[in-house]
Structure 1
Amino acid sequence: MDNSVIKTNSSVSSDSIKMQERLAIFLALIAGYIDATGLIQWKTYVSFMSGNTTSLGAGISTGKSEIIITSVTVISCFLLGIYAGTCLSLWKRIKNQILTFYIVSGILIFYTIIAYFYDINNLSSISVIGFSMGMMNTIVTSVGNQKVNTDFVTGTLNSLAKNTAMLTMTDDKTEKEEYKSNAIHLLLLWIGFLSGAFIAPFLLDYFGKWTLMIPALSLMICGLLISKINFKN
């Protein structure tokens, strides 16, 4: 089943690929922003599970229970978010994943409002945000024929290097165009994540406890715009 929020035919049109690419970059920017916010506020990655897995292994070997509990919690909640998002994408009553935009946005808005009035402990915070990041990772899973992950960059960089290598090694013009296109998509995705992580510290200093409202409202607006596009089509 196609997990993309954009309606497509069996052959993916160039317009659909462009829309998928823009959406993937937007989601990567949001993920980078929230991941950097989590790292600054709670000293934990909320979407970069490779880093949390490393922390978990180190925590187990050194016997640091706090690190173990934190890492297990955020990894588990991230997996639950992916599970929930995937189930939504496979639910026959849902034609696209616009609902996931609203759910993730709603979680972030609800968390921000509660956190403004009450002091939420770090473990609860990373549980909620980690779950929402897992869900968001299921919105766009490919750009054209290239599989992508918008919430973490290890796979993105791996695929970027592989496509670049295949681009330089092949003499077939069709393959060259495909590998070049994939490499550009992946590079832009990485830049999107990096940009989100870059701007997060500045906006965190300015907005404080309201900082997660920015990605929350951005996701909601994006969902509304895509709904409008799909309605016209």
Structure 2
Amino acid sequence: MNDSPSSSPLDSVKVLLLQARTSAQMERQERLCFLERARLRSDQLAALSVLRDPLPPRLLDRVDAVFIGGAGEYSAYDDFPWMPGLLDFVRHIADTQRPLFGSCWGHQVMARAFGGRVVHDSERSELGCRSVSLTESGASDPLFGTLPETFKANMGHHDRVTKLPDGAIELAHNEQPNQAFRMRDWPCYGTQFHSELDAERERERLIEYRDYYRDDLPSDKDFQAVLNNLTETPEVDDLLHRFLKMYAT
């Protein structure tokens, strides 16, 4: 046992990150974001692309938890050739009770996998830093209950979850419901906001996907206003780290 001051309960934790990025640069950036927010070493995070890598159930034998990241060009409600396999893999994670955390697109994929509903709603897209408030269930949740009643979080989506799966508990909302949820009987959390992004990383992400959001923000002036509005989100920045400490150690 390592009793040195630098030791951490997460030192031996292994995490699998599922990604859906076509850009190698954004794959690297997303991995770095999850490493930073979860406070993991690079050797503790194994990343797989759902676009090109197989997802055999035995992968879960080698990890203590699973993250599902964002997607850029891919919608969680579309039936891409690889989507059935991904949904089956998410349901297999539930069968094994491995801790699972989905961010943005990952949140939507989890909702769909367990029977919820995801829609495309560009008129209610959320880009940049927005306020989110806890529900009563969120305020009493072991993980979310440490957050303030209302907090800032970084966002970049124009799909959203309109119906939660059976057995899911809404933890947070704003003008839109289901900004965060958890499954009732195992440590499975989803956030519509990007739990892995601080202000600097959100800026990088928005600039990279500028064309993808051009219909939502056609004016460069409006897009710059979103970038200028980015602020630090210290309450959310610790969420992934606390999730692993609470459920993966």
Greater share of residues in strand: 2
Q: Which has the higher contact order (CA 8 A, sep 6+)?
A: 1
TM-score range, shorter chain: under 0.3
Instruction: Tell me the TM-score normalized by structure 1.
Output: 0.27
Which has the greater radius of gyration? Answer: 1
Looking at secondary structure, tell me which structure has more helix per residue. Answer: 1
